[in-house]
């Protein structure tokens, strides 16, 4: 069964600290896609990254980096030198590539990040 687990419900850090948000997923498929979205207080889901299951290269985008490890079914997200504007709820999500399942995005429960000045 498909499942995404974000064990960290809430994280609080002081500005400029590095923080890692954990994501563990379960899937039967060999082809799947993993996502991270940011949801600020305004409510919209902001797309951060999409990664397919065949691409295990880590990715860095500015202060954001992602560590994808198929061996541990994890897709962790690190914010370096966090800022107050990073405060939001972050969701990890999974989509399988099958005809019967490619339409569905399975979300984790989210991690609320609070960055204090």
Partner 1 sequence: EAGVTQSPTHLIKTRGQQATLRCSPISGHTSVYWYQQALGLGLQFLLWYDEGEERNRGNFPPRFSGRQFPNYSSELNVNALELEDSALYLCASSEGQGWNTEAFFGQGTRLTVV
The footprint of partner 1 (CB under 8 A) covers 33, 35, 37, 42-47, 50, 52, 91, 95, 97, 102-110
Nearest distance, CB of residue 88 and partner 1, angstroms? 14
Give 41 or 62: the residue with its C-beta nearer to partner 1: 41
**C-alpha count within 13 angstroms, C-beta hemisphere, residue 99:** 0
Nearest distance, CB of residue 108 and partner 1, angstroms? 8
Residue with tokens 């204090």: 116
Cα separation, 103 vs 66, in Å, equals: 24
The Cα-based distances of 100 to 95, 103, 112 in angstroms read 11, 7, 31
Nearest distance, CB of residue 17 and partner 1, angstroms? 27
* Cβ burial 81-108 (10 Å sphere, 16+ → b, else e): ebeeebbbbbbbbbbbeeeebeeeebeb
Give 104 or 116: the residue with its C-beta nearer to partner 1: 104
Give 28 or 50: the residue with its C-beta nearer to partner 1: 50
Give 31 or 83: the residue with its C-beta nearer to partner 1: 31
Nearest distance, CB of residue 50 and partner 1, angstroms? 7
């Amino acid at each position: 069964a498909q499942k995404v687990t974000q064990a960290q419900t809430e994280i609080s850090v002081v500005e400029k600290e590095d923080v890692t948000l954990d994501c563990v997923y379960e899937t039967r498929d060999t082809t799947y896609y993993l996502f991270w979205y940011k949801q600020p207080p305004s409510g919209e889901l902001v797309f951060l990254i999409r990664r397919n299951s065949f691409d295990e290269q880590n990715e860095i985008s500015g202060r954001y980096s992602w560590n994808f490890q198929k061996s541990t079914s994890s897709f962790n997200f690190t914010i370096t030198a966090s800022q107050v504007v990073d405060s939001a709820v972050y969701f990890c999500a999974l989509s399988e590539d099958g005809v019967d399942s490619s339409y569905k995005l399975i979300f984790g429960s989210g991690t609320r990040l609070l960055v204090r000045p």
